[in-house]
Structure 1
């Protein structure tokens, strides 16, 4: 797929999350994808 639905599907397959919505006077999309490296490494 394409658009936000397709992006969300692909990110979820990688174990991540997509956040989309208004951010002040603009629209923001953020994808969080795990890298396999801990912040404490």
Structure 2
């Protein structure tokens, strides 16, 4: 299975976990780590 940019491949049911690979599946996630970005922004102010 090949998928294009999917925000949440686990939530979409394409894979079980992002922690380990699965057979015959490839693609990318475009999920943005919003919490980490806000924390970094708060540190810079």
Q: Which has the larger radius of gyration?
A: 2
Question: RCO (CA 8 Å, sep 6+): is it higher in 1 or 2?
Answer: 2
Fold conserved between structures, TM > 0.5: no
Provide the TM-score with structure 1 as the length reference.
Answer: 0.31
